Amino acid sequence: MMNFFREHAKGVITWIILVIIVIAFGLVGVNAYIDGDGKTIVATVEDVDIQLPVFQRAYQQERAYRQQLLGGRVDPALMNEETLKREALRRVIDSEVVTQSAREAGMRIGDAQLADQIRMIRQFQRDGRFDQATYSQLLRNQGLSEAEFEDSMRRDLLASQWVSGLIDTELATPAETASLLALRGQQRRIGYMTLDRAAYLKDVSVAEEEIGKYYDGHREQYAIPEKMTIEYLELSAAELQSAIEVTDEALQQMYQEHGSDQSVPEERRASHILIQLDDKADAASKAKAEGKAKDILARARKGEDFAALARKYSDDPGSASRGGDLDYFARGVMAKPFEEAAFAMKKGAVSDIVRTSFGLHIIKLTDVRGGQTRPFAELRDTLTRQYRDQKAEERFFELADRLTDLTYEHPDTLDVAAQELGLKIKTSDWFERGLGTGIAQDDRVRQAAFAPEVLESGHNSEAVTLTDTHVIVLRKREHQPVSYRPVEAVKAQIIELLRAEAAQQRVVKEGEAVLARLIRGEDPVALAKQAHGAWKTPGMVGRQSQGGAIIPAEVLQQAFRLPQPAAGQAASNGGVALAGGGYALVTLYEVKDSDPAAASDQDRKMAQELLMRQRSGQVGAALIENMKGRLDIREHADRI
């Protein structure tokens, strides 16, 4: 039973992971959300613009995910691009909706919590401990700054917190738990026999014309895909960093000019009392909520214990149990009206009533920290990284422009650009249009390589941008067009396949005939002997447990699909084709539910968690749609 719970507890929340959890290194970066420098905006959620790079990352991730589901070798051109684009846009919008909803509900991820989670990521560790140099290098390799990654991680954790809140509030009733335990622990008494396909093979022959007909109709199965290799020049800011010389003078100047940028952000700690009030509430409901809020505010300002008032009256389940405490938060975390009020208050003050889309808030400011410029010694390592990043990026753009010019001016060779820029000409392994390794793992590289100007004309490609600071220029090295294995090379394989198909048709026909006799009430043992098989009676079996007997999976599945024998009926019967070839006949004699009271505490707990996750999945989907209805969301699908 526990195996069932383990398998299904993972599956039932897959949708929510795919929909709302922002994968680190994946969908979002702080700059892609907040830069207002004229970049293409694909959607807006309230006052947050979602820019094209965010959508593009989601699109590439969605494409790769679906390609993996389809076996990894499917040509991306065969996938519906419009469907992929719509799904990617929906995902980034849902992600922002969840992030805003979590923040409105008072959820937040503190710096210490974020740091703990990052330190636990195995890829950032050396010898089992977090390593700052490894962390920084891996991020640079991905084209991410630390700020971008940490913002992405914070969003991921915030969404996880929101999901956990749903699971915690969706309780499974004892009756539901008992019903699931009885069902999953159910035992069934069965008998079965199998007809072996191999027994029917000896009488099957295949004519030459059948071989040719099958080959002509399935020629693509024997195709050797078109493939090629490339040579290319690669330029990235990350590789240029090692050549950047750093001096104390340069760091001191950078500190003087930008030291204030490295100040500890001002954070405020507040407690709040939330009185829920929907934007669409009627006048009577609004008056009632406002009256309640005014009464609580008056009591708080008269000196009553704010934490006690929050525990008693706040509608925010996340903070009420903590006396309304929201911990420390910086600007940009809370809803605008809440933030403006909190950052305008003095320590110890209680605000007027603040309205957000979640309702009415009464805020008490409990502490203020940060806002000071950090000393040079403390910032030295950070300044060094930033200096290298800055200078490497400047050098990258200088060289990238020159690389583009040289490879355009000399379209039939990479040698000129390689010599002038000091770059090494690299070569790839063989790759196909839809599948590659190394540099050809990237769709954009393969698309550029198979473009007519490269593949047919033999010219250099345009610069292929992999990240903002990583480009390549490529040209064809070797090419092999699509070819087909000759029929003689696959003849034996086709004969084997056609014989197996013919034998399977015969065994299914024979099995269905035996099933008809079984249903009429003939003796199964005698029928099995006539079919050169044996009637097996393993007794009671469970969905996973086979009572020590080796039973084909299809037999077990059929046994649990068959209806319970009706009153006056000795058994119910069914047949099923076996995946490996052959046919099985199954008889169900008896059904016995398990006793929920006899279930172990661990099984009971896992059943409750499964039910809670199933329900939270439904609630989560409904909540996201509800939030979308309350938020101002504008899509610009024409820009993708």
Flag whether pLDDT at 12 surpasses 60: no
The pLDDT score that the predictor gives to residue 26 is: 37
- Read off the pLDDT band of 10 (50, 70, 90): very low
CB-CB contact of 335 with 316 (8 Å): no
Q: With cut-offs at 50, 70 and 90, classify the pLDDT of residue 2.
A: very low
Residues of the chain with pLDDT > 70, as a percent, come to 84
Give the whole-angstrom CA distance, residue 75 versus residue 432: 9
Say if residue 218 is in the same domain as residue 230: no
The residue-averaged pLDDT of 450-457 equals 95
Given a contact cutoff of 8 angstroms between Cβ atoms, the answer to whether 109 and 158 are in contact is yes
Residues 6+ apart with CB under 8 A from 604: 177, 181, 596
What token pair was written down for 640?
Answer: 């993708």
Q: How confident is the model at residue 13 (pLDDT cuts 50, 70, 90)?
A: very low
Q: Tell me if 259 is assigned to some domain.
A: no
Given this model, what pLDDT does residue 612 score? 66
Alpha-carbon distance 169 to 171, whole Å? 6
Q: Is the pLDDT reported for residue 425 higher than 60?
A: yes
Q: Are strands 470-480 and 464-467 parallel, antiparallel or unpaired?
A: antiparallel
166: pLDDT strictly greater than 60? no
The count of other CB atoms within 10 Å of the CB of residue 416 is: 13
| Amino acid, res. 441 | Q
pLDDT at residue 502, as a whole number: 93
346 and 397 both lie in a single domain = no
Contacts with 256 (C-beta within 8 Å, 6 or more apart), sequence order: none
**Helices (H) then strands (E): counts for the chain:** 24, 20
Phi-psi category of 81—alpha, beta or left, where left has phi over 0 and alpha has psi -120 to 50?
alpha
Q: Dump strand ranges (E) for 219-291.
A: 223-224, 227-236, 267-276
- Are 119 and 242 in the same domain? no
- 611 vs 136, which has greater pLDDT? 136
Give the span between the Cα atoms of 88 and 26, in whole angstroms: 12
Distance CA 250, CA 599 (A): 70
Q: What is the overall mean pLDDT for the chain? A: 83
Q: 581 is written with which tokens?
A: 């070839």
On whether the CB atoms of residues 270 and 363 are closer than 8 A, the answer is yes
Same domain? For 41 and 142 the reply is yes
Is 364 in the same domain as 381?
Answer: no
What whole-number distance in Å separates Cα of residue 238 and Cα of residue 204?
Answer: 64
Q: Is 159 within 8 Å of 91 (Cβ atoms)? A: no
Domain assignment present for 627: yes
DSSP state at residue 378: H
Q: What is the mean pLDDT of residues 355-373?
A: 88
Same-domain check for residues 552 and 435 = no
Which amino acid is located at 79 in the chain?
Answer: M
Lowest mean pLDDT segment, chosen from 158-162, 427-431, 563-567: 158-162
Say how many C-beta atoms besides its own lie within 10 A of residue 593's C-beta. Answer: 13
Give tens-digit pLDDT for 233-285. 999 998 898 888 899 888 888 888 776 555 667 889 999 999 999 888 899 99
Is residue 121 situated within a structural domain? Answer: yes
CA 229, CA 432: separation in Å to the nearest integer?
A: 9
Give the pLDDT band (50/70/90) at residue 23.
very low
Q: Which of 102-116, 382-396, 444-458 has the lowest mean pLDDT?
A: 102-116
- What pLDDT is stored for residue 68 in this prediction? 62
The pLDDT-based confidence of 507 (bands split at 50, 70, 90) is: very high
Q: What is the pLDDT of residue 585?
A: 96
Pick from 481, 513, 538: which residue ends a domain?
Answer: 481
Residue 257 domain-assigned? Answer: no
Per-residue pLDDT band at 421 (split at 50, 70, 90): very high
For the segment 77-93, the average pLDDT, to the nearest whole number, is 77
* pLDDT over 90, % of the chain: 41
Query: From residue 552, how far is each of 192, 201, 519, 537, 590 by CA, in Å?
Result: 10, 21, 22, 13, 19
Q: Which pLDDT does position 427 carry in this prediction? A: 98
Q: Can you tell me whether residue 489 is helix, strand or coil? A: helix
Buried/exposed code over 485-518 (b: 16+ C-beta within 10 A; e: otherwise): eeeeebeeebbebbbbebbbebbbeebeebbeeb
For the cut 70, the answer to whether the pLDDT of residue 170 exceeds it is no
The domain total for the chain is 4
CA distance 389 to 622: 44
296 forms beta bridges with none
Q: What is the pLDDT of residue 87?
A: 86
Instruction: Tell me, yes or no, whether 408 and 471 share the same domain.
Output: yes
pLDDT at 531: 86
Range of the domain at 317: 264-369
What local confidence, expressed as pLDDT, does residue 546 receive? 54
Please, are residues 487 and 414 in contact by the beta-carbon 8 Å criterion? no
Report how far residue 528's alpha carbon sits from residue 422's, in angstroms, rounded to the nearest whole number: 78
- Same domain (yes/no): 583, 463: no
Extended strands (E) in 296-346: 325-329
Q: State yes or no: pLDDT of 32 exceeds 50.
A: no
Indicate if 32 and 169 belong to the same structural domain.
yes
pLDDT digits (tens, 9 = 90+) for 184-226: 778 899 999 999 998 888 889 999 999 999 999 998 889 999 9
- Minimum mean pLDDT among 89-93, 163-167, 302-306: which range? 163-167
Q: How far apart, in whole angstroms, are the C-alpha atoms of residue 4 and residue 8? A: 6
Q: What is the pLDDT of residue 488?
A: 94
In a domain, 296, yes or no: yes
State the sign of the Cα–Cα–Cα–Cα dihedral 484, 485, 488, 491. negative
List the one residue out of 274, 273, 371 whose CA is nearest residue 330: 371
φ, ψ (nearest 5 deg) of residue 567: -60, 130
pLDDT over threshold 90, residue 355: yes
* The two structure tokens encoding residue 467: 């990240």
- Return the pLDDT at 72: 46
pLDDT score of 113 more than 90:
no
Q: Which of 318, 341, 369 is the last residue of a domain?
A: 369
Which residue has better confidence, 261 or 178? 178
d(CA 117, CA 414): 45
> What DSSP line would sit under 278-293, residue for residue?
-TT--HHHHHHHHHHH
Residues 165 and 285 in one domain: no
Specify the CATH number for the domain of residue 299.
3.10.50.40
571-579 mean pLDDT: 91
Evaluate whether residue 518 is within a structural domain: yes
Mapping DSSP to helix (H, G, I), strand (E, B) and coil, where does residue 495 land? helix
* Residue 19: predicted pLDDT: 37
The domain spanning residue 606 has which CATH number?
Answer: 1.10.4030.10
pLDDT at 396: 93
Largest interatomic CA distance in the chain? 99
- Where residue 504 falls among pLDDT bands split at 50, 70, 90? very high
Q: Are residues 171 and 50 in the same domain?
A: yes
Please, are residues 148 and 593 in contact by the beta-carbon 8 Å criterion? no
- C-alpha distances in Å from residue 196, one per residue of 212, 503, 522, 527: 28, 10, 21, 14
Specify the amino acid at residue 134. T
- pLDDT of 175 reads 75
**Which comes out higher in pLDDT, residue 289 or 81?**
289
Q: Is residue 180 packed enough to be buried (19+ CB in 10 Å), middle (13-18) or exposed (0-12)?
A: buried
The pLDDT, as a whole number, for residue 82 is 78
Residue type (1 letter), 549: A
- The last residue of one of the domains, among 426, 449, 481, is 481
R_g (Cα) of the chain, nearest Å: 33
CA 165, 629, 53: angle at the middle one, nearest 5?
A: 80
Residue 42 lies in a domain: yes
Residue 456: phi, psi to the nearest 5? -95, -45
Q: Which residue has the higher pLDDT, 614 or 536?
A: 536
Amino acid 616: pLDDT: 59
Would you state the pLDDT for residue 142? 67
**Higher-confidence position of 104 and 163:** 104
Beta bridge partner(s), residue 188? 541, 591
Average pLDDT over residues 292-304: 95
C-alpha to C-alpha distance for 419 and 373, rounded to whole angstroms: 46
Type of residue at 276 = Q
pLDDT value at 173 more than 90: no
10 Å CB burial of residue 232 (0-12, 13-18, 19+) is buried
Distance in Å from the first CA to the final CA of the chain: 47
Query: Do 193 and 500 touch, CB atoms closer than 8 A?
Result: no
Residue 66 identity (one-letter amino acid) = R
Residues 198, 82: Cα–Cα separation, whole Å: 47
Q: Residue 619 pLDDT > 70, yes or no?
A: no
Average pLDDT over every residue of 482-499: 93
CA–CA gap between residue 482 and residue 490 (Å, rounded):
17
* 164 or 640: which leads in pLDDT: 640
Pair of tokens at residue 382: 């950070």
- 144 domain-assigned: yes
Claim to verify: residue 98 and residue 165 sit in the same structural domain: yes
Comparing 263-267, 394-398, 432-436, the range with the smallest average pLDDT is 263-267
